[in-house]
Amino acid sequence: MVHPAGVPPGGVPIFNVEPVRPHWFYMKENRVWMPFSHIDSEALEHEFSKPTTKEDRIVPTDGGRYDVNVDERVRRAVYWEEDVSVVRRCTWFFKGDGGVKLVPYKEEMAATLEAEFYSAVRQNQWPRKIVISDSEYILLHNTNVMVHFQTCGPTDWSGEDSGWRPKVVRRGVADIEEDIEDGEGHQIDHLVFVIHGIGPIADLRFRNIIECIDDLRMVTLSMLNEHHQELAKGRTIGRIEYLPVQWHDKLHNDSNGVDERLHSISLKSISKLRDFTNSTLLDILFYTSPTYCQTIVDTVGSEMTNLLALFRKRNPSFKGQISVCGHSLGSSIMFDILYHQQDPNATKSAKQSPPAQQHNSTQMSEDSTDSAALELSEDEEESGQELPEVLSQLGLQDYTALFESEKIDLNTLSLCSESDVKEMGLPMGPRKKLMGYLRQHAALQKHKKEKEKRAKARAESKLNSAEMVLTQSTSSLQSLGTVESVEVLYHQGYAGTGQPYVKYPKLAFKPFALFALGSPIGMFMTVRGVDQVGPDFKLPTCQKVFNIFHPFDPVAYRLEPLVDSTFVKDPIMIKHHKGRKRMHLELRDNLSRFGATLKASLIESVKNTWESINEFARAHAYSDGVVSSTQQQIDPPSTPTSIASDTEDETDTLLRIGQLNSGDRIDYVLQERPLESLNEYLFALSSHVCYWLSEDTALFILRAIYKDGITT
């Protein structure tokens, strides 16, 4: 170490100075300099120290998501398009304004300052003035006190606007060394593709999905380090990699022309609000359009395919599983794509029926007949039987006159209930026989309709239009010229009525899980006409679905009631990352428990009092062995069959509900913060974008992946 004045107490000058340790920085789009992690900076310095070669020296940084060209001093994104960032090998800094701790000098200027600093220490000449220009200089008072003065305006020596005030100069990164991240490990255990929702921005700070995923990745690494022992379980674990899947730009690019057409029909008033609507909210309508829905799903599918190929090329040793994560509309897009995948291991006999057909099909156990009888009934129906023939076939020809007097034919009889037939005077035996025939007749009609529907679906699947039917008709108008109209045909698809004919892409992988954040999947299925998908419904190639939402998220909907309409349990509350409930929730539960206990105590007290009154009445009410009507025993008030529990029922997680999540629970709710509980509506919008910085969400994903998704 060097004494502040350059001379120790003994008076002998110290001429040896420890070399400054360089640290590498890069400039963000907002012209803020950010330090590389310690791991990345050491890798860059190691490559820089090697002899220069003819080929460019490329160093992967930020977990392999960026490449740095050491010779050109530039940083380029690997998996997405982004402006090139300037890179700098930094040794000398000055303190910036507005919370910026250190701003690096240019490398040439830093070399000059280092040489002057060495000279001042060796010659013990303090203070030393380093003149930069006529109006700017740096004064080195000693090894610790150094100031940058500027007398008439900013210069460009540092690459930044240094302002008018004197700046404190620092040698090395000692001031911020503790704030610099250690870096990401090379071992990747799991890959997660993240599909964004509507619009180009993903949070309230107007950041894109790339920046928001950086937050999610940072929080996930923090939770991984904090809960490493719990997640590792004695094995060596690495990290989870998140890669963004972007589809908005492809939908709104110049080649599509949709933005230009929207601009031509938009009103000129409140232009900023209309531009915001055109670029964000209309994405929901685009997804319901067959033309643009096809563009969206094709983009998502191709992006994941390309990203996976590039990822495997850069990480040839990766053997982990892959999951998908969708936010808002992105989760619905991913859900539809996953449902239309085909499992090559599934046989034709094991194929599940569409949820809409599951919903429309009724219980026919009481109406069941053997196949021979059903085929016979079909032949009879095709022959056009009348009611007298049916009665004769059933041995009820004696009652033909009765039905004729009421002017009832076979079609009218099918609308009658058993009580209607009973009022006509038909005995029980013939009545039961006739009603059994009517039930069989109704089952036959439904069977024929289903056969026709399946035959129609098979015919439509053979169309060369890849399930997109657009019938174009042209008509000539005398005054308007030629106008082309388009008729869009919809079908009763797997996702319900109203789902347009779309050819969904086939993915090159089987996802381990779908993590839906703030998801409207339930809403989309409901408006398509799906009331219940049934317990046997599942995604062909994805066995796990986690529906994660904030309780105040206005876009989020539940999924469990669609699987089983009789399921009334609340969603599972996600545990706080500290291992407890938030204080205000504990207080609310304690108050609920106190109220339930007080209510139960009062009811029990009233019950005991009532029993005492009854005992007293029975002891004095007998007269000649008969109890008077006014003195009969009165039953005490009944105790409620159930009382609200004080805490979340731990057995909820053990309930089995359908196959969508391999039988496990599907809906999971985050705990709101104390401030959010004050006004639900005030925090409704922010709750929809809270997932990127939510420690609870990140830890939930980690636990879900490392519990079942990582091979030990």
What amino acid positions are annotated as catalytic residues? 328
According to DSSP, residue 571 is labeled P
Q: Under a CB-based contact definition with an 8 Å cutoff, are residues 486 and 470 in contact? A: yes
Phi, psi of 573 (to 5 degrees): -80, 125
Which residue is listed with tokens 């698809």? Answer: 493
Q: Under a CB-based contact definition with an 8 Å cutoff, are residues 297 and 337 in contact? A: yes
Distance CA 504, CA 497 (A): 17
According to DSSP, residue 671 is labeled P
In 3-state terms, what secondary structure has residue 505? coil
Phi, psi of 304 (to 5 degrees): -65, -40
What does DSSP say about strands 146-150 and 136-140: parallel, antiparallel, or unpaired?
A: antiparallel
CB-based burial of residue 303 (10 Å sphere; 0-12 exposed, 13-18 middle, 19+ buried)?
buried
**Hey, what are 386's tokens?**
């009348």
Phi, psi of 129 (to 5 degrees): -105, 125
Distance CA 404, CA 709 (A): 70
CA 577, chain centre distance (Å):
19
CB-based burial of residue 47 (10 Å sphere; 0-12 exposed, 13-18 middle, 19+ buried)?
middle
What does DSSP say about strands 188-195 and 321-327: parallel, antiparallel, or unpaired?
A: parallel
According to DSSP, residue 251 is labeled H
Phi, psi of 177 (to 5 degrees): -60, -35
Contact residues for 471 (Cβ-Cβ < 8 A; gap 6+): 486, 487, 489
In 3-state terms, what secondary structure has residue 49? coil
Distance CA 323, CA 510 (A): 8
Phi, psi of 210 (to 5 degrees): -65, -45
Handedness of CA 545, 548, 554, 557 (dihedral sign): positive
What does DSSP say about strands 513-517 and 321-327: parallel, antiparallel, or unpaired?
A: parallel
* β-bridge partners, 348: none
